Structure 1
Amino acid sequence: MTVYDYAVLVFYFVYMLAISWVFRKFVTNVSDYFRGGGKAVWWMVGGSAFMAAFSAWTFTGAASKAYTDGWPIMAIYVANAVGFVLNAVYFAPRFRQLRVITSVEAIRERFGRVSEQVMMWLQIPLSTLQAAIHLNALGVFFAAVFGLDLTWTIVVTGVVVLVMALVGGSWAVLAGDFIQVLILMPVCLAVTVLAILRLGGWDGFVAGLPPSYMNLGQIFTTDFLGLWCVAMLLKQITSTNNLFEAGRYLAVKDGRHARWAGYLGAVLFIIGIVIWFLPPMAAKALGLDLGAMFPGLGKSVSEASFIAISQVVMPVGMLGLLVSGIFAATMSGMDSGLNKNAGIFIKNFYQPLLRPNATDAQMLRLGQIATVVLGIVVIYISIRMAEFKDLGLFLLMQRVSILVAVPITVPLLLGLLIRNTPPWSAWSTVLVGFFGSFFVSSFFTPEWGASFFGHTQPLTPASREYWIQGFQFFANVALASVWFVGTKLFWNRCSATYRAQVDAFFVQMNTPVDFDREEGAGAANDNRQSATVGWLSVAYGAFVCLLAFIPNTLVGRLAFLGCGGVVLLIGGALILTSRRTPHPS
């Protein structure tokens, strides 16, 4: 990277800290701190939900898959878009209508306190460790590609995220994620356009790729690829439509805003499919020697395909914007995780079990302390993670997350659709699914699948992974679903109190939110949100436009003006909206 790129990175981190300082005044109570007080508008929540749904892995591991195999990786992101559409059509408004501060509170209202505690103590450690893994992976990648110090990359990124979540709470997280969308998407679009132009247009791009890269028909010819694509579609639908993910939409004003937030997430994922995966495929078409460009990455060199094509086609200084966007992808998942986990600890453990009479001020202060502790833990684990790589921790955690995630999401999705199940149906389904997962992974190997379906040719590494992920998903879902539905047989043995609680849960979930009546018209701050984010966007857009003065070709200067212009345009539109909307703030 050049001195201009480093300057852009420094500006980016200072700018993110400024967002938290600006939004600190939006926080007045626990609800504001952990879910924006249920006042946020759709575009801010939709942008945040989108950013939290992926990480820097999109630009490393997923890009590597696009570089080596072509289109199949896009199936996961198509599935994400479908999941968000289902959010918008059905689930998102109902999530908001639960009227809770944390998603685990909704689990308690649906399944009772035992399931609440089980799910909470599964969620906090796993999501904390996942954040640490993402942060470490980001540090390792940038250390190898750009020669940045691993420890300092982790510490600086982690501290910036921690300060944002600590000072501004969920408001800073929401606003920061939305503005990061404005930074990331135009820059990725610029990379895509410049890469296609370098290849002489679309025809040159396609001609430079192996035929299979754009051949959708291989879904019927490649071993287990069709199974994997269907599994990924259903997996992403379940992972985006369950009670844990209710947290995405608890911050919005009402069901209408929740619905539009879901649609925005879907649209952004559809755009992302193009601008995230055509560049690494363009690196393949150009025949870039990734090994020579990044000798420090070894066997993982294909993970640098997105960065490689960016270095080749981007003007001087724009790589810093792209790296900022990749940092943003990891930061968004980490900051929402810190804020969400702190809220879960306070509202689902500290208050109900330790201090039932705790005041709002006490919970807010302890929530800030919990945020600091969680942030330090994430940073510490990330730094120490390098020492554990020889023990296979990364692979181990990936497998554990696959084995645990599906059994958790199944009851939390089915519990929204099926009423008459006992309180133990949720946590018992998790246990059944967990142990069933180990059985499936131990006995139904790729070799067993090949033999069962009569495949005589040796399986490729890709086909083996398609089987492992695809079959395990379907087996896990089948086991967990059968068990959960089977618990309906015990509904009549449930207490009258519990049955009344479940009925109340569904009545609440299906009752639209009347914001003015429930919160008071004076509680709305739509104009303030639009104006604040608008001016912050204008500031960043102006900065990007000024980068056009960096010595570059005309195309390079126009790329900066195009990216900055998009941010300026959206920021200006938000400012105008804040002045025209006659709603009290």
Structure 2
Amino acid sequence: MCRGSLIKIGGPSNLIEQFPADSIMGPNMNYPLLFVAWFIFMFVKQLQNINNMQDSYRFLTAKDSTNARKAALLAFVLMLIGPAIWFMPPWVTAVLYPDAALAHADALGGKAADAVYLVFVERVMPVGMVGLLMSAVFAATMSSMDSGLNRNAGVFVRNFYSPIINKNASEKKLMRVSQGVTMVFGALIIAVALFINSLRGLSLFDAMMYVSTLLQMPILVPLFFGMFIKKTPDWAAWATLAVGMVVSYMVSFVITPDVIANLLGIEGGFTSREASDLTVMNGIIGHLVFTGGFFCLTTKFYKEPQGERKTELNEFWTDVATLLSRKKDKMRSTASSAACLVSSS
């Protein structure tokens, strides 16, 4: 689609010359400082979103630490060129079809602009590509959803159900619980998706930004800060999550863009785009300062663990500091020893 869009418009130079926006900031943005600040804080958020303990598993499948670094570098490069590939069709559509944002207004209402990709496929691509596009969307969603559901179910069972609710549960029991938890998580995700879809005035992009900033960041703060701040009490992560939800509530319903506009004396307030960007940026700032600050303050209540808990933590941080190649060598050695024991018996 990226290549087809460039061919349709006649190359990048024609796209730049004919692009309808008055500036690089696009429409409905009157404050360059807000635009730059949003970009900076979104970069910080993505840094936490990708580099944290929850998502570190993606590097464990590499052959060794060297290949894991190469995988991270490849992901970095792809993320640099990815936006150009993803946004090229909408950019071209904005030039060639100015009415694209209203093409499906009857069905989507205020979210009609989210159908720009569909408009491009309908008007530019060959017949039948709409079905292929829908298949690709479903395939991409399912591939991410199933791995995410399995991961979250495993985290819940291994880190909450097994050590707290049922310490003596068998592997069969844990499997059944994980299957049930997967179904519950799936139902919750569907319910949230239906709720977001019912918000006719909220675009898909804004919905993604709100969810990732106001709901995901309270979880990411302890997962990211915990890689560097080790001496925290066991309750620090859960308490930080609770504080993060309070911060998200304050940003959403108390310190709103209208309140900020009144404090700054801005007549007429912010535009809808400015208000959306400001809400996201305030959420990131709030979680970095207050949620992250609370997590750091929990170190004041840290007490040196004893007994089995101390052994668990020492093993965990040893694994974190161990190169991936050495871990796999250790696993191979353990597997070989086990095989020898089995064969000798």
Q: Please tell me whether the aligned partners of residues 103 and 112 of structure 2 are also in contact (alpha carbons under 8 angstroms).
A: no
* Post-superposition offset of 1:389: 2.7
* Post-superposition offset of 1:399: 5.3
Which among 168, 182, 185 is matched to residue 356 of structure 1?
168
Q: Where in structure 2 are the equivalents of 1:383-462 lying within 5 Å? A: 385=194, 389=198, 402-453=213-264, 455-456=266-267, 458-462=269-273
The Cα offsets for residues 140-192 of structure 1, whole Å up to 9 and x where unpaired, read as xxxxxxxxxxxxxxxxxxxxxxxxxxxxxxxxxxxxxxxxxxxxxxxxxxx22
CA distance in structure 2 between the aligned counterparts of 1:232 and 1:445, rounded to whole angstroms: 19
Alignment CA distance shift 1:351-1:231 (3 Å): same
The Cα offsets for residues 256-314 of structure 1, whole Å up to 9 and x where unpaired, read as 34323322322332232111101101101002533346642232221111121122222
Which among 332, 338, 345 is matched to residue 520 of structure 1?
332
Alignment CA distance shift 1:445-1:201 (3 Å): same
TM superposition score normalised by structure 2: 0.78
CA distance in structure 2 between the aligned counterparts of 1:367 and 1:255, rounded to whole angstroms: 34
The Cα offsets for residues 505-541 of structure 1, whole Å up to 9 and x where unpaired, read as 32221011325532328989xxxxxxxxxxxxxxxxx
Q: Please tell me whether the aligned partners of residues 105 and 112 of structure 2 are also in contact (alpha carbons under 8 angstroms).
A: yes
* Post-superposition offset of 1:198: 1.7
Alignment CA distance shift 1:386-1:214 (3 Å): closer
Alignment CA distance shift 1:224-1:448 (3 Å): farther
* Post-superposition offset of 1:248: 3.0
Does residue 224 (structure 1) correspond to residue 62 (structure 2)? The answer is no
Counterpart for residue 322 of structure 2: 511
Does residue 274 (structure 1) correspond to residue 84 (structure 2)? The answer is yes
* Post-superposition offset of 1:243: 2.0
CA distance in structure 1 between the aligned counterparts of 2:229 and 2:108, rounded to whole angstroms: 49
Amino acid at match of 2:247: G
Amino acid at match of 1:239: N
CA distance in structure 1 between the aligned counterparts of 2:111 and 2:186, rounded to whole angstroms: 29
* Post-superposition offset of 1:417: 0.3
CA distance in structure 2 between the aligned counterparts of 1:388 and 1:193, rounded to whole angstroms: 31
Alignment CA distance shift 1:405-1:390 (3 Å): closer
* Structure 1: runs of 5+ lacking an equivalent: 1-190, 525-585
CA distance in structure 2 between the aligned counterparts of 1:443 and 1:325, rounded to whole angstroms: 40
Q: Please tell me whether the aligned partners of residues 222 and 240 of structure 2 are also in contact (alpha carbons under 8 angstroms).
A: yes
Counterpart for residue 6 of structure 2: 196
Alignment CA distance shift 1:421-1:292 (3 Å): closer
Counterpart for residue 205 of structure 1: 15
Q: Please tell me whether the aligned partners of residues 5 and 92 of structure 2 are also in contact (alpha carbons under 8 angstroms).
A: yes
* Post-superposition offset of 1:348: 3.2
CA distance in structure 2 between the aligned counterparts of 1:379 and 1:408, rounded to whole angstroms: 17
CA distance in structure 1 between the aligned counterparts of 2:215 and 2:114, rounded to whole angstroms: 26
Alignment CA distance shift 1:470-1:386 (3 Å): closer
The Cα offsets for residues 540-561 of structure 1, whole Å up to 9 and x where unpaired, read as xxxxxxxxxxxxxxxxxxxxxx
CA distance in structure 2 between the aligned counterparts of 1:477 and 1:255, rounded to whole angstroms: 30
Amino acid at match of 1:228: W
**RMSD, aligned CA:** 3.8
* Post-superposition offset of 1:476: 2.1
TM superposition score normalised by structure 1: 0.49
Counterpart for residue 120 of structure 2: 309
Amino acid at match of 2:41: A
Amino acid at match of 1:520: R
Does residue 259 (structure 1) correspond to residue 69 (structure 2)? The answer is yes
Alignment CA distance shift 1:273-1:424 (3 Å): same
CA distance in structure 2 between the aligned counterparts of 1:386 and 1:439, rounded to whole angstroms: 21
Q: Please tell me whether the aligned partners of residues 262 and 269 of structure 2 are also in contact (alpha carbons under 8 angstroms).
A: no
Aligned partner of residue 416 in structure 1, secondary structure: coil
Q: Where in structure 2 are the equivalents of 1:52-67 lying within 5 Å? A: none
Q: Please tell me whether the aligned partners of residues 228 and 466 of structure 1 are also in contact (alpha carbons under 8 angstroms).
A: yes
Alignment CA distance shift 1:496-1:365 (3 Å): closer
Counterpart for residue 341 of structure 1: 152
Aligned partner of residue 224 in structure 1, secondary structure: helix
Amino acid at match of 2:257: P
Q: Where in structure 2 are the equivalents of 1:66-85 lying within 5 Å? A: none
Aligned partner of residue 275 in structure 2, secondary structure: helix
Amino acid at match of 1:347: R
CA distance in structure 2 between the aligned counterparts of 1:398 and 1:347, rounded to whole angstroms: 30
Q: How many residues of Structure 1 are paired with residues of Structure 2 in the alignment? A: 329
Q: Please tell me whether the aligned partners of residues 240 and 294 of structure 2 are also in contact (alpha carbons under 8 angstroms).
A: yes
* Post-superposition offset of 1:209: 1.2
CA distance in structure 2 between the aligned counterparts of 1:195 and 1:388, rounded to whole angstroms: 29
Which among 242, 251, 265 is matched to residue 52 of structure 2?
242
Q: Where in structure 2 are the equivalents of 1:120-131 lying within 5 Å? A: none
Amino acid at match of 1:487: T
* Post-superposition offset of 1:233: 1.0
Among the aligned pairs, what percent are the same residue? 30
* Post-superposition offset of 1:501: 4.4
Q: Where in structure 2 are the equivalents of 1:549-564 lying within 5 Å? A: none
Alignment CA distance shift 1:401-1:211 (3 Å): closer
Aligned partner of residue 54 in structure 2, secondary structure: helix
Q: Please tell me whether the aligned partners of residues 515 and 521 of structure 1 are also in contact (alpha carbons under 8 angstroms).
A: no
Alignment CA distance shift 1:499-1:343 (3 Å): closer
Alignment CA distance shift 1:472-1:430 (3 Å): same
CA distance in structure 1 between the aligned counterparts of 2:321 and 2:196, rounded to whole angstroms: 50
CA distance in structure 2 between the aligned counterparts of 1:198 and 1:392, rounded to whole angstroms: 32
CA distance in structure 2 between the aligned counterparts of 1:472 and 1:251, rounded to whole angstroms: 33
Q: Please tell me whether the aligned partners of residues 421 and 487 of structure 1 are also in contact (alpha carbons under 8 angstroms).
A: yes
Aligned partner of residue 227 in structure 2, secondary structure: helix
The Cα offsets for residues 327-349 of structure 1, whole Å up to 9 and x where unpaired, read as 22311221112221332344334
Q: Please tell me whether the aligned partners of residues 243 and 412 of structure 1 are also in contact (alpha carbons under 8 angstroms).
A: yes
* Post-superposition offset of 1:416: 0.8
CA distance in structure 2 between the aligned counterparts of 1:238 and 1:448, rounded to whole angstroms: 28
